[in-house]
Amino acid sequence: MLSGTMRKMRSELGTGNRTDEVNYFLPLGKHDLPLNPIIGKKLKLEFLGNIICKNCGRKTGKSFSQGFCFPCMRRLARCDMCILKPETCHYHLGTCREPEWGEKNCFVPHFIYLSNTSGLKVGITRHTQIPTRWIDQGATQATIMFRVENRRQSGLVETAFKELIADKTNWRTMLKENQPDMDLLTRADELKARLQLDADQVPESLSEDSIDDHGGDITSIRYPVLEFPKTIRSHNFDKNPVVEGILMGIKGQYLMFDTGVINIRKFSSYEVRVSH
């Protein structure tokens, strides 16, 4: 039995029996609970009633932006709307909430990628978050299309692609099954060609020199799942503090029980007791 403040699951790719299978760990305070060995066995998560802001460490009655108290959510750049919509970055206007944080996290190389989650989608991530970003979204395949100099540029390119392809994952579809493999490299080439033909979609502020074409490799990802749920029932600590059942699998940031699924990332900063 372990207890502590819960964080989103940590994942590792290529350390299991198969080189492309994900190993998952549940952070609880100072502990990392290996989850793969528990698949097929009974697991119980119990919310103890406390939510601890992952920035300032104070108790909060409600979690904002996946683990922050309200004052921190209002103050921190990592909770600003431009994190969800990078194309709206306002650092150049001098209004960034935390300029030093922005320089460290946003003014670094970013990738625009194509992935197979609930279907084909486009997305962006920092260079340091590959393949973690793909795993967190439940992608079974992914490939990089472009490399750009900063987060705002990645958002501008992604926005241009939104006219051609989805940029969101249907999490219910993603949890019910793995989508058939796709020829991502061919699809990426097709999308790049369409984007070039419709050049009006690319903002003038994004010069050709700032975009590096990047392609050629596909990352395949397998998830430890015994059985996918036929119907999706969601567990919610705010409505029921106890989640238990047979752990049937893990995909994305979801634990899949025979009694329903729970999004661990959603309940980051919740104090939880775990027994199995």
Domain boundaries, the chain: 2-67+224-275, 109-220
pLDDT at residue number 196: 64
8: nearest Cα among 137, 127, 108, 113:
137
Task: Report the 10 Å Cβ neighbour count for 55.
Answer: 18
Q: Span 228-246, mean pLDDT?
A: 95
Q: How confident is the model at residue 16 (pLDDT cuts 50, 70, 90)?
A: very low
Give the span between the Cα atoms of 45 and 2, in whole angstroms: 10
Does the pLDDT of residue 68 top 50, yes or no?
A: yes
Residues 6+ apart with CB under 8 A from 154: 86, 110, 111, 112, 124, 148
Give the span between the Cα atoms of 235 and 255, in whole angstroms: 10
pLDDT at residue number 18: 44
Phi-psi region of 14 (alpha: psi -120 to 50; beta: other; left: phi over 0): left
Q: In the chain, what percentage of residues exceed pLDDT 70? A: 91
- In degrees rounded to 5, what are phi and psi of residue 44? -130, 130
CB-count exposure of residue 32 (10 Å: 0-12, 13-18, 19+): middle
Does the pLDDT of residue 197 top 90, yes or no?
A: no
Q: How confident is the model at residue 157 (pLDDT cuts 50, 70, 90)?
A: confident
- Paired residues of 109 in beta bridges: none
Q: Model's pTM, two decimal places?
A: 0.91
- Please list, residue by residue across 76-96, b when 16 or more beta carbons sit within 10 angstroms of its beta carbon and e when fewer do: bbbbbebbeebbebebeeeeb
pLDDT at residue number 200: 52
The answer to whether residues 89 and 106 touch, using CB atoms and an 8 Å cutoff, is: yes
pLDDT at residue number 194: 83
Give the span between the Cα atoms of 144 and 191, in whole angstroms: 13
Give the span between the Cα atoms of 52 and 50, in whole angstroms: 6
6: nearest Cα among 256, 247, 259, 241:
241
